[in-house]
Amino acid sequence: MTVLPIILSSNKTQLTLFQNNMAYPVYLTIGNIPKEICQKPLCHAQILMGYIPTTKFLGITTKAACCCALSNLFHMCIQHILALINSIGKTGIKMLSGDGIWCQCHPIFSAFVGDYPEQVLVTCTFNGHCPKCIVPSDHLGDYDCYPLWNFNDTRDVYLLAKSDALVLHAACRKAGLKPVYHPFWEFLPLMNIYLSITPDVLHQLLQGIMKHLISWLTSPEVFGPEGINACCQSLPPSHHIAMFPKGITILSWVTGTEHKNICHILIGLIINLPLPHGQASACVVKAACALLDFLYLAQFPSHTSDTLKRLDDSLA
């Protein structure tokens, strides 16, 4: 018996080939493919399953009802794409592997890769809330652990769609969930959608934590933009180091690659800069080092108990 972990990924994109309309391209891959192959686009480890349309629903007057309709449209399309997994995932199907051996394969949906808006859409949670745990929206910045959403309770809520729409809406409002008519993951075998949401290195770390760290360090209350830009302009050229001859605060739209390049030189920029009012900068440098350690530890291809402990210590 061979398990085929199904991995879906999607991101709302403007499609130039479709008259600049917005849609959700849905890509599929399996977890049995080695990472060195998945990371190379030319190896075509991911296949395009289709495009999920978006529409403005001109016949719907309220914004909340329009958002609800869009969510239902998305889940219905994904449900159509994964329709065969409901039966084949349990019974299995014989498939020929690359080495010529026939295997009894069980495709199981295991992970969804997407940005925060897509994570919220898939888990039927609301914007401003965590798609994995039940942390209150006003405590998202606290360093506390909260339990995951209970998948069984969530599925029981959506099973009410069989009886009455009003009952479903009332139950979803009480549970803090979107009133989606049968989410695509409702009947998938061995499924827990909250465990299937994966971390996003680009948006959550580089464009999230590191963006906030850099904006904090360059704020007037800490080092200020002038001091950091001056240090950036005086850096000597070096191998494998991207140069920013005009500084880093004048960049209007910073990509993930540029944030990664800034992280390479960030400690060198602030190590000898003074804080306002003659305060010692050791604590600020220590905080920056800890967050950079967290960034690089989080990108390890595999982890041990020691690296996970170091990850927690850096965040703390």
Question: What is the per-residue pLDDT across 242-285, written as a single tens digit (0 to 9) for each?
Answer: 888 888 888 888 888 899 999 999 998 898 888 888 788 899 99
Which of 34-43, 109-118, 306-315 has the lowest average pLDDT? 34-43
Residue 151 CB-density burial (10 A; 0-12 exposed, 13-18 middle, 19+ buried)? middle
What is residue 78's predicted lDDT score, i.e. its pLDDT? 93
- Kindly tell me if the per-residue pLDDT of 124 is higher than 90: yes
What is residue 237's predicted lDDT score, i.e. its pLDDT? 84
Q: What tokens were used for 13? A: 């994109």
- Kindly tell me if the per-residue pLDDT of 217 is higher than 90: yes
What is residue 9's predicted lDDT score, i.e. its pLDDT? 92
What is residue 239's predicted lDDT score, i.e. its pLDDT? 84
